[in-house]
Amino acid sequence: MMKLLEDTARSRGYTFVTRDARVGNGYADKIAQNYRERIVESHEKTTAFGPQRYFKIRL
């Protein structure tokens, strides 16, 4: 599913995708591992949903 999203975004001229991921359940770490070479910005923040990590990922 992410491949389709990324391909569509690229075809429309986007160069980055951003997302927030929950820290406590390990999802943010999985994103960091999977996209490590394409992450250009990352920081943690506290939200109403708990600790989250923001990612800016190069397409």
| pLDDT at 1 exceeding the cut of 90 | no
Quote the number of domains for the chain. 1
Q: Which band of pLDDT confidence, cut at 50, 70 and 90, is reported for residue 48?
A: very high
Q: Which band of pLDDT confidence, cut at 50, 70 and 90, is reported for residue 43?
A: very high
| pLDDT at 2 exceeding the cut of 90 | no
How many residues are given for the chain?
A: 59
**Contact (Cβ atoms closer than 8 angstroms) between residue 44 and residue 23:** yes
Domain that holds residue 36: 2-58
23-27 contacts, C-beta under 8 A, 24 or more apart = 23/50, 23/51, 23/52, 23/53, 24/50, 24/51
| Spatial separation of the C-alpha atoms in residues 22 and 13, rounded to whole Å | 28
| pLDDT at 25 exceeding the cut of 90 | yes
